Amino acid sequence: MLRIFSPLILINKIPLVHLQYFIGRWGANAVKGEVSLLFPCLRFCKEPIIATIIVYFFTFFKGVFEKSYKILQIFLSKRGKTADFSFFRRRKPLRALTKRKKSFIMYGKETTMKRIYLDHAATTPLDKEILEKMTPYFLADFGNADSPHAQGRAAMNAVDNARDLLAEKINAKPSEVYFTSGGTEADNWAMYCGAYAAKEKGRNQILVSAIEHHAVLASAERLKNEGFEIVYIPAAKNGKIEVKTLQSLLCERTGLVAVMSANNETGVLQPIEELCAAAKAAGSLFFTDGVQLAPYLPVDVKKSGVDMLSLSAHKFYGPKGCGALYIKGGVKMRGLIVGGEQERGLRGGTSNVPAIVGMAAAYAKNLQEQADAAEKLRGLRALFLQELAGEDGVEINGEEGLPALLNLRLKGIRNTDFVYSMDLKGVSLSAGSACASASIKPSHVLLAMGLSEEEARESVRFSFGKENTKEEILQAANVAKELISRLRGGNSL
């Protein structure tokens, strides 16, 4: 019996808000019909412990029945018979559970309120106009871009046209643009390519800012294991990488400098032109992660002077699974993925034609709308801050940068509790980078800016989008104020 009840003993150690979150997620699956008879119990339970006990015992007895059923099947099959338990199976989910308005589930109740999405730094919805431009390459023009026939040539033309368009918009040559599977691959490729290009010139040191995306930091660690010297550039308290700090670290061994254009957690903008000029003066290559910059500000690789720059389509209302890497002509290239002759023989793998078409079209459209969108986003950000102005213990992390990002410290409130509670109230946001959201570690960006671990664990990220309305921002701010008060009082919902 102790073995059966031991998981229940641990429940008392789980924070209430986490328990409510997982029960809510489990209940959402129940609506789909997996355990539809159990859902009413979850919906009307007053105490999380009771709901959890129901879940536990239902799962336990369901498992016992399934094992017995399988044993009986094996037993009867040896005698040339079959076991038929179809009468146990509900052919259709309960009508009351299937004919509902679109809704999301909170612990103990359900709401039909439309969700408010404030996590655009993690990803953006695919623009419908972009989807229409991609659709032909899923259907009629579905050919492999490397095939010699008419459908293959049509696909290759689409890829070439997309490359030309994207290159034009970032002020590069088409031959300098390479398509990838996303920003992470582009970051990896740039670090790998830049490091070994520098090594051939006798430069073995790589300077990497301490606030980079994990894709860059992980690449740096891998290169360290391959014999490169990695030096991290510290950030100032406002989140900036100062030119004088970089200059103090540059030396004759430095072959590559990596500093992101805009931070994905705080939105702080870096002085890329000045940093790049300092690196070039020391004879070093310069790589910048432009993934968060591109959705909000124009990218001009010639003006900035960078040698390499990464982009990701899903950050500016394009498709997921597609990115691009700009590599300046003259930088010696190395392939990262082998097995094909795509991307001028440097990246093996069938070209994702619909996504490539979508990425170029999305960037062009985003660039056209950027100025108006930025003005709107600044207004939404200011409105949200204005609504929270009366709350004690709310501080902004980093200086103002991108118009859509806002990183706040909520004193005395753990960020995971706040994010889960907002989610249950219908507002989507995050505690930081989406690529590290599953980690229990505090944000490395905030730690690099001088915050303590406790302060970093009290920080959350709001990121607004062009489809957000003032009404949504006001509603989200009201929910945030309510939860700040309740969570500081020890209650979650």
Mapped onto helix, strand or coil, the DSSP state of residue 127 is coil
Q: What is the CA radius of gyration of the chain?
A: 26
What is the Cα–Cα distance from 482 to 87, expressed in whole angstroms?
49
What is the Cα–Cα distance from 209 to 232, expressed in whole angstroms?
5
Q: Provide the H-helix boundaries in 94-182.
A: 95-98, 128-134, 150-169
Those residues whose C-beta lies under 8 Å from the C-beta of residue 116, and which sit 6 or more positions away, are: 426, 427, 428, 468, 472, 475, 476
Read off the tokens for 479. 């929910």
Mapped onto helix, strand or coil, the DSSP state of residue 271 is coil
DSSP for residue 440 = -
Read off the tokens for 170. 């970032």
Tell the residue number behind the tokens 């789980």, with chain if given: 14
**Catalytic one of 251, 276, 322, 435:** 435
Catalytic residue check, 435: yes
What is the Cα–Cα distance from 364 to 166, expressed in whole angstroms?
7
Residue 311 parent element (H or E): strand 308-312
What is the Cα–Cα distance from 367 to 162, expressed in whole angstroms?
15
Nearest CA to 327 out of 182, 220, 204, 197 is that of 197
Are 435 and 296 within 8 A, CB to CB? Answer: no
Nearest CA to 307 out of 174, 191, 185, 184 is that of 191
Those residues whose C-beta lies under 8 Å from the C-beta of residue 408, and which sit 6 or more positions away, are: 388, 394, 395, 396, 397, 459, 460, 461, 462
End-to-end CA distance of the chain: 33
What is the Cα–Cα distance from 359 to 179, expressed in whole angstroms?
10
Q: Quote the longest CA-to-CA distance of the chain.
A: 84
Q: Which residues are known catalytic residues?
A: 435
